[in-house]
Amino acid sequence: MNPIIDRLRAELPPTFARTAVPKLTGEIISAGTLANEDSRGTGPAGVFYMGRRAVYEREAFLAWLEAKLTRAKAKPVNRAA
């Protein structure tokens, strides 16, 4: 098991708004990143909406986050053209 995921599983509420994710995860992921992932269809499964507010279920969010976590640092993007 992943200790980060285990800690979050114990601390996150059963459901939470996208805007709360940065604070709930210690700034591991931003609300903007989640919005982009959701718009591409690659965000956490089961997102639902209360009005305009995106809401996630804890277990679906943690499954998505665990799949994203890695020990390797991402390679920089070559922006020279």
Single-letter residue type at 80: A
Domains and CATH numbers, the chain: 3-71 (1.10.1660)
pLDDT for 24: 95
Measured CA to CA, the distance from residue 71 to residue 36 in angstroms comes to 23
* Phi, psi of 29, deg, nearest 5: -140, 145
Measured CA to CA, the distance from residue 47 to residue 16 in angstroms comes to 10
pLDDT for 81: 59
* pTM of the predicted model as reported, rounded to 2 decimal places: 0.82
pLDDT for 9: 94
Token match 């509420």: residue? Answer: 13
pLDDT tens readout for residues 10-69: 999 999 999 999 999 999 899 999 999 999 999 999 899 999 999 999 999 999 999 988
Query: Confidence class of residue 77 from pLDDT cuts 50, 70 and 90?
Result: confident
